[in-house]
Amino acid sequence: MVWGMLLPNGLIAIKVLQGIQTAATYVETIKSFCVPIMKLNLEPKIWLVQDNCIIHVAKSTIYYLKTENFELIDWPAKSPDLNLMENIWKMLSNVMYSANQPRNLKELQEQLFQAVRVLNSEKGEISKNLCCTFRQRLTTVIVRKGALYD
What whole-number percentage of the chain has pLDDT above 70?
A: 90
| pLDDT of 39 strictly over 80 | no
Full DSSP string of 22-81? -HHHHHHHIIIIIHHHHHHHS-SSEEE-----HHHHSHHHHHHHHHTTEEEPP--TT-GG
If one counts every other C-beta atom within 10 angstroms of the C-beta of residue 94, the result is 12
Q: What is the DSSP letter of 2?
A: E
**Element of type H or E holding 18:** none
pLDDT at 45 exceeding the cut of 90: no
Share of the chain above pLDDT 90, in %: 45
By CB atoms closer than 10 A (0-12, 13-18, 19+), residue 120 is middle
Under DSSP, the state recorded for 118 is H
pLDDT digits (tens, 9 = 90+) for 87-101: 899 999 999 999 889
Residue 3, pLDDT score:
92
Contact 112/92 with Cβ under 8 angstroms?
A: yes
Distances (CA, A) of 6 to 82, 103, 107, 142: 14, 28, 24, 23
- Quickly state the pLDDT bin for 68 (edges 50, 70, 90): confident
- More confident position, 41 or 118: 118
